[in-house]
Amino acid sequence: MAASDAHRAIEAVWRIESPRLIAGLARIVRDVGVAEDLAQDALIAALEQWPKSGVPDNPGAWLMGTAKHRAVDWLRRSKTLERKHQQLGREIEIQQGSAQTDVDAVLDDDIGDDLLRLIFTACHPVLSTEARIALTLRLVGALTTAEIARAFLVSEPTVAQRIVRAKRTLAEARVPFEVPSGREREARLSSVLEVIYAIFNEGYAASAGDDWMRPALCEDALRLGRILAGLAPEQPEVHGLVALMELQASRLRARTGPGGEPILLLDQDRSRWDQLLIRRGLAGLDRAQQLGGALGPYTLQAAIAACHARARRAQDTDWERIVALYDALVQLSPSPVVELNRAVAVAMAFGPAAALPLVDALRAERSLAGYPFLPSVRGDLLAKLDRFEEADEELNRAASLTRNRRERRLLLDRAARCARRSACAERDDRRGAQSPDGRRSA
């Protein structure tokens, strides 16, 4: 087998198998950093052997078996894990004997549980949001350091440092490799969902760079969400988040024009929306609602996205229903960003004059001081009220705040249109102020 073919096969297998591999090893050694090192050792062994021997019939099992041997050797050598060594004494004795299959049976406990433990560990609140995202994409998403760096427009050393510090922090904090229970599980689940949605949002509307979107990140978040939904099917908010991402991802093809320029929601060609993703999203929303209890924030946002998905034309959108859903969301998860989104819905349902005071009230929010969407929304409302000069100023301010080149160009184009309309209005005012013979009226 050609070495290049073997390396491509190994890369493909690694993408699929590494999260399961690291999860299984982390349960054995109780340290995600060591687990990743052991998994990398198995990968190196594959890179050395497969080009010569060929790719095994079951490459995932080969990697797992190789990694397990190294895990058992590591436990046997490690003096710091003596207690774990004693707990696994029987397995190690069997490993030293002839009944290897019994060790595999013990170590091959429910892999689904292992993946769930890995997700909860990688998203532990003891880590910063940036560290949680990087570690989750590395361990569960199987992205390389370079891929994570490209996705978030930071340097590879920065991502590498975040991952190293995250693993060290987990080890120093003695974070248990387990799925928490009770209130702690609820709190930790919130952290997991936050990380997955943060990854999706960065793909859906890139915060910086030359691209309006990064669809690969949306795909990674959807994959993580679907894994979590399969591992925790009784959690309505997990289904709510997946439904939300499915419904938003259904619009990806319609969100840019031929040259990559942004196309806003109301201007999109809805025939380009992905109907399969819409059906999946609506089914996920139904599932979240059927599980009972009060609707959580992700399920409420999914219900809002469903209002858009069900409208064949922009003018068919049930904006009053969206306002009501935002009212519920504000009560459940109050934040200035939610209030701003609600104001947009109010403008669509009841007119810009009803929404402008809501937006003006948010200008004092310190957390929105550098948020480009605030002046963008205010500029749009002012333009609809024919206050074009003010709208021009707000849209230019929004453009100055964004770090995304495509978004900046969009905002500057909107500002320029307002400036032109302001100039036209000023000329019309001058003409209207003149008498028929050309002289100014009194």
Q: Which amino acid makes up residue 151?
A: A
Give residue 51's pLDDT.
87
Strand partners, 403: 208
Give residue 131's pLDDT.
95
Q: Is the pTM of this model over 0.85?
A: no
Q: And the tokens for 348?
A: 């669509």
Question: Residues with Cβ < 8 Å from 329, sequence gap 6 or more?
Answer: 297, 300, 301, 304, 338, 342
The end-to-end CA distance of the chain, in Å, is 94
Give residue 393's pLDDT.
97
d(Cα 74, Cα 68) in Å, to the nearest integer?
10
Question: CA-CA distances (angstroms) from residue 329 to 16, 70, 112, 323, 399?
Answer: 37, 49, 32, 10, 28
Give residue 86's pLDDT.
56
Tens digit of pLDDT at every position of the chain (442 positions): 566 777 788 888 888 888 889 999 998 888 999 999 999 999 899 888 888 888 888 888 899 899 888 888 888 877 544 555 555 554 545 444 433 443 344 344 444 578 889 999 999 999 999 999 999 999 988 888 988 888 787 899 999 999 999 999 999 999 988 888 877 887 789 899 999 999 999 999 988 888 889 898 899 999 999 999 998 899 999 999 999 999 999 999 999 999 889 999 999 999 999 999 999 999 999 999 999 888 999 999 999 999 999 999 999 999 999 999 999 999 999 999 999 999 999 999 999 999 999 999 999 999 999 999 999 999 999 999 999 999 999 999 999 999 899 999 999 999 999 999 999 887 776 776 665 554 443 3
d(Cα 71, Cα 184) in Å, to the nearest integer?
29
d(Cα 100, Cα 63) in Å, to the nearest integer?
16
Q: And the tokens for 314?
A: 């922009």
d(Cα 53, Cα 339) in Å, to the nearest integer?
61
d(Cα 39, Cα 5) in Å, to the nearest integer?
21
Strand partners, 440: 434
